[in-house]
């Protein structure tokens, strides 16, 4: 069977854009159409909570490809348009303006949207979320006029924004429901290290702290009341409590969905004419026992590449070691593999000096590595985790253990 | 506009007139040059934009930082004396004519 004659991609984020780019780079000659809800060319999201928010770079610098790239490669970019229905028998995608786009292959790269909280005062002016370029620009502008910000949620986004706001001299309070920071992404030792670093920079971080209500005057937010009865003054409140996958389009079309579009090792959904990838897809990964959904640029971009290769005729299963990063408190955290729920953690290096790696084990096997100030360890870990690393916690705990040297010896 | 040539191990070279101040990684991606992935967005994070710099230009590049040094130790393609990460190569008029050879694999 040859390649399909037309590919329609729903979503113009990193994943959707990389599918289109990789198809053309691989010589794909059929039609390629991208549909996205946001205006403009596809852009990088990581800087939205980092360099762009800090004003260090301009919005134009976020473009994943210049506008001319899409024209030159005949990639049709339908911006500010929403896909509302998949007609699977007719192989057509219906858009919110009534357009019916025929497809031979459909790629769902619909991403995720921010979770919201049921909260009194959520509608007040100054209560924001962060997901899009427009969100980031608005937050930046609001921060310029604010004295203090309260951030709800101590995950990557919340803590990255806390760093930027603190560096700009704002009073920053982070309220987290869990007992520690970054429960979904990082181990306890690494979270503790970053918590201390944030506090040294003057960020107030409170755990086991739920938000009871947002208070305001004249329609504008002025304070956050927490479950312990304390009141935190704020002119800006950022809700950063994670995301949920945009899987409704797939669910409505009868595709198997379980908090994410379920796909196989080839990233195919229950319909061989439909793939799904990135933040909206739940896929089998060797490091997890059950299908997993990963929210990261790397996952979106690498899965996009894999989907494009498959459309072009390849049949390799997707098996890339996932990795993640975060910039916080002037430090960089790099994560390879699966770390947050490790059974055993061995810390190598010197946390006091801000240079260490947390080696994570499950069932006595290395499953992930978190690195701070040790980029070489990170890259070594990504290569080690592609197969059984053969490393025991005891061996890693030896005083002279060196992950890079170990990786080289394998 | 400085011109840069990307030379894959097997295959024809791509020559591009690059905007001043862009990085060699950004230019490669903007023009769809295969063989440079740079998936971290040029953040010195992924070591997937590894290149071999033509010897004639090596002395014109800024020194290798500690972080880049560490990343280069773990690249998939062999680390050579002229290895650099292309996200760290800002294109200047001086670098006009730059030739970058691409390793067979990036990670």
Instruction: Supply the CATH number for residue B30's domain.
Output: 3.10.20.30
**Residue B106 is assigned to a structural domain of this protein:** no
Q: Within an 8 Å CB–CB cutoff, is residue B17 touching chain A?
A: no
Find the residue in B nearest to A386 (Cα). Answer: B107
**A108 compared with A26, residue with greater pLDDT:** A108
Q: Within an 8 Å CB–CB cutoff, is residue B44 touching chain A?
A: yes
Q: Which residues of B are less than 8 Å from A69 in CB distance?
A: 30-32
Q: Are strands A281-282 and A261-262 parallel, antiparallel or unpaired?
A: parallel
H or E element, residue B72: helix B66-72
Count of structural domains within chain B: 1
Q: Within an 8 Å CB–CB cutoff, is residue B45 touching chain A?
A: yes
Instruction: ipTM value, please give it.
Output: 0.76
**Tell me, what's the pLDDT at B107?**
66
Q: Within an 8 Å CB–CB cutoff, is residue B43 touching chain A?
A: yes
CA angle A158–A162–A164, rounded 5-degree value: 120
Which H, E and C letters describe chain A, residue by residue?
CCCCCEEEEECCCHHHHHHHHHHHHCCCCCEEEEECCCCCCCECCHHHHCCCCCCCCCHHHHECCCHHHHHHCCEEEECCCCEEEEECCCCEEEECCCCEEECCEEEECCCEEECCCCCECCCCECEECCCCHHHHHHHHHHHHCCCEEEEECCCHHHHHHHHHHHHCCCEEEEECCCCCCCCCCCCHHHHHHHHHHHHHCCCEEECCCCEEEEEEECCEEEEEEECCCCEEECCEEEECCCEEECCHHHHHCCCCECCCEECCCCCECCCCCEEECHHHEEECCCCCCCCECCCCHHHHHHHHHHHHHHHCCCCCCCCCCCEEEEEECCEEEEEEECCCCCCEEEEEEEHHHCEEEEEEEECCEEEEEEEECCHHHHHHHHHHCCCCCCCCHHHHCCCCCCHHHHHHHC
Right CATH number for A6-113+244-311 from 3.40.630.40, 3.50.50.60, 3.30.465.10, 1.10.3720.10?
3.50.50.60
Global pTM reads 0.92
A376:B74 CB<8 A:
yes
**Tell me, what's the pLDDT at B94?**
94
Q: How far is A99 from chain B (nearest CA, A)?
A: 30
A252 pLDDT more than 90: yes
Tokens 């200047």, located at residue: B92
Q: Which residues of B are less than 8 Å from A46 in CB distance?
A: 41, 43
List the single range of A346-355, A388-397, B16-25, B32-41 with lowest mean pLDDT. Answer: B32-41
**Tell me, what's the pLDDT at B39?**
79
Percent of chain A's residues with pLDDT above 90: 92
Beta bridge partners of A355: A350
B45:A375 CB<8 A:
yes
Dump pLDDT digits (tens) for A206-229.
Answer: 999 999 999 999 999 999 999 989
A92 pLDDT more than 90: yes
Q: Answer left, alpha or beta for residue A256, where phi above 0 means left and psi between -120 and 50 means alpha.
A: beta
B74:A379 CB<8 A:
yes
Q: How far is B71 from chain A (nearest CA, A)?
A: 5
**Tell me, what's the pLDDT at A153?**
98
* Residue range A10-21: mean pLDDT, rounded: 96
| Chain A: residues touching B (Cβ < 8 Å) | 21, 24-25, 44, 46-47, 64-66, 69, 73, 297-298, 301-302, 323, 325, 332, 334, 374-376, 378-380, 382-383, 404, 407
A399 pLDDT more than 60: yes
B76:A383 CB<8 A:
yes
* Residue range A182-192: mean pLDDT, rounded: 97
- Quick check: do A6-113+244-311 and A127-241 share a fold? yes
CA A145, CA A170: separation in Å to the nearest integer?
10
**Tell me, what's the pLDDT at A304?**
95
A1 pLDDT more than 60: no
Whether domain A330-409 has CATH 1.10.10.970: no
A292 pLDDT more than 60: yes
Average pLDDT, chain A: 96
B40:A298 CB<8 A:
yes
CA A177, CA A301: separation in Å to the nearest integer?
31
Please state which CATH class domain A127-241 belongs to.
alpha beta
DSSP for residue B35: T
**Tell me, what's the pLDDT at A410?**
85
Q: Where are the domains of chain A?
A: 6-113+244-311, 127-241, 330-409
A382:B107 CB<8 A:
yes
Handedness of CA B18, B21, B24, B27 (dihedral sign): negative
**Residue B19 is assigned to a structural domain of this protein:** yes
> Which residues, given as ranges, of chain B have pLDDT below 70?
107
Residue range of the domain that includes B8: 3-101
């Amino acid at each position: 069977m040859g390649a399909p004659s037309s590919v329609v991609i729903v979503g113009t984020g990193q994943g959707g854009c990389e599918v289109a780019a990789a198809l053309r780079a691989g010589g794909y000659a059929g039609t390629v159409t991208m549909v996205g809800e946001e205006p403009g060319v596809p852009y990088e999201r990581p800087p939205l909570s980092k360099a762009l928010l800090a004003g260090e770079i301009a919005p134009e610098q976020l473009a994943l490809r210049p506008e001319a790239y899409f024209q030159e490669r005949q990639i049709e970019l339908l911006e500010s348009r929403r896909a509302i229905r998949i007609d699977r028998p007719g192989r057509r995608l219906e858009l919110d303006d009534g357009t019916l786009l025929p497809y031979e292959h459909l790629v769902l790269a619909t991403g995720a949207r921010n979770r919201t909280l049921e909260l009194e005062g959520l509608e007040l002016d100054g209560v924001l979320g962060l997901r899009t370029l427009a969100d980031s620009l608005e937050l930046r502008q609001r921060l310029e006029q604010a004295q203090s910000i309260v951030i709800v949620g101590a995950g990557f986004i919340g803590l990255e924004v806390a760093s930027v706001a603190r560096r700009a001299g704002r009073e920053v309070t982070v309220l987290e429901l869990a007992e520690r920071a970054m429960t979904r992404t990082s181990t306890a030792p690494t979270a503790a290290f970053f918590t201390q670093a944030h506090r040294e920079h003057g960020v107030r971080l409170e755990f086991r702290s739920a938000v009871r209500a947002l208070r305001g005057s004249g329609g504008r937010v002025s304070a956050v009341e927490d479950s312990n009865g304390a009141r935190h003054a704020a002119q800006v409140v950022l809700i950063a409590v994670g995301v949920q996958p945009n899987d409704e389009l797939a669910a409505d079309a009868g595709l198997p969905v379980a908090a994410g579009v379920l796909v196989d090792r080839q990233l195919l959904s229950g319909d061989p004419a439909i793939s799904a990838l990135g933040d909206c897809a739940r896929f089998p990964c060797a490091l997890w026992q059950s299908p997993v959904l990963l929210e990261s640029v790397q996952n979106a971009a690498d899965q996009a590449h894999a989907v494009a290769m498959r459309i072009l005729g390849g049949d390799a299963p997707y098996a890339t070691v996932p990795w993640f990063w975060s910039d916080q408190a002037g430090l960089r955290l790099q994560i390879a593999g699966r770390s947050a729920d490790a059974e055993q953690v061995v810390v190598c290096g010197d946390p006091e000096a801000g240079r260490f790696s947390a080696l994570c084990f499950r069932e006595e096997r290395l499953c992930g590595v978190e690195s701070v100030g040790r980029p070489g360890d990170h890259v070594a870990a990504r290569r080690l985790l592609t197969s059984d690393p053969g490393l025991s916690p005891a061996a890693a705990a030896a005083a002279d253990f060196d992950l890079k040297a170990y990786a080289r010896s394998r | 506009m400085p011109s840069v040539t990307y030379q894959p191990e097997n295959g024809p070279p791509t020559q591009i007139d690059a905007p001043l101040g862009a990085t060699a990684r950004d230019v490669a991606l903007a023009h769809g040059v295969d063989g440079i992935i740079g998936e971290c967005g040029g953040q010195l994070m992924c070591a997937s934009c590894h290149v071999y710099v033509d010897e004639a230009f090596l002395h014109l590049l800024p020194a290798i930082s500690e972080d880049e040094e560490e990343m280069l130790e773990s690249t998939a393609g062999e680390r050579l004396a002229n290895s650099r990460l292309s996200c760290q190569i800002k294109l200047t008029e001086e670098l006009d004519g730059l030739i970058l050879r691409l390793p067979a694999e990036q990670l």
